[in-house]
Chains A and B, each alone.
Chain A
């Protein structure tokens, strides 16, 4: 069924490396933090792609690269046939109208010196001034639009003269959502929109996002590290680890049959809101630390902490295997060939052979 829907956004081998520099006048580049290291996925119209992963795995960088807040190091972001990475300034601004962001921290993402009215109307004013709207808006029309948006996201329009610091966290996030909706975007990149909120407020904001999606046929890319939130809102889920997508599947499928050892560990760590089951729950406890993202790993990025590690994994980077039913996973366990019997020496020899072949 989902195949019939139009593909809205395609991300191909997206890489975002932040250079490490010596500083000083010469400012030599001595390395790079590989925040996002070659990820690919597609987003279909009307769906919600959830991205989960632990802190520092590159979730936020991914959406910022898609929004072109950071210019990607390499790779393509294709929105409705337009490659944003190579787009000209003007095309990019036009595309931005359709790609809007909701930010994580509702305290930091609203300018404290602007009234709610000017915050929500800012995108309209910017586009109006540059003459990029379908029709020039008058001040009065903008004013009415602001009121409509405020009421749509559940804010009293009487508050439009107020300043952000006079609102609670949930209300501020509503202001942020109203601002993102102002230009009638097709896709909204939500960068942990609920992680800074109380649990009860989280539910309200999630429900609001759900309603808006149904009403306006929005597409979301939704980041969270709360697995329950992702399960609630997403149609598909991508699991990220150290700048790579390790597993990508439909939401129900992923939660029922996690394939990648990392996903399994992640899901087993989520508490279950039933004390009886919670007490009996078996947890997979990962040891070790996330490796530093400034080095290129010879093998699987997860192998150092993987409970199902094989010698083969230490020197071979896993490709993506399709398990069918839209379920993709990057793990050697799912190759047709069984690698578990291969000793360390044989694996190393194979890796060296590949290296020389490439050379």
Chain B
């Protein structure tokens, strides 16, 4: 089974990021890491590979530094990595990203000499959180897509996946090739071993340029225009109810809730 996992390098999501003086996210000095949902996707793909054989390739679009995210993927399941890197690919929206990725898929298939059976993406990135790249990529590749999956297995020549929704879970079966986007599964991504970390450093990461992909400039230009960014409003302080007795406190709380028409 040939698997591709799409990975984006993003600012460490455990760091609180505000806006700088010019109104852009203040990410200078923040460690760049592989997007958390992409690491879940890679772990799920790796477990699928371990249960059924196959190889995993990872791809990222980004600057030279994004190789760090790919190297970390090579230490925990992936065996090949490609970086799509070129001027003009820095601030793409999801539509442009899916366009470049779809071109990269064909190019990597050509380089690997094999078609991908499955493409894994995180369900969203922790920096932009659009959740659109996976489905758009599937559309461009002309294959099926299941979003927000938390489990996957092979079934009858296709796949059976557990999809998490706001109401509960769906079990979806579909043919392959397909694109899946991954939510947080029940397990955590594995840690690299000391040995795999050192071995990953020795695997070459090939860089694919815009020219290699034959990109059309107008399709990499963002269709979405960001007019302004703002920080989420600060949480308002709550109402403290602390009457003399526990009974009085409860009675007061019920009164407040009633006034607020909570019930």
Q: Does B bind A? A: no
Q: Which residues of A contact B (CB under 8 A)?
A: none
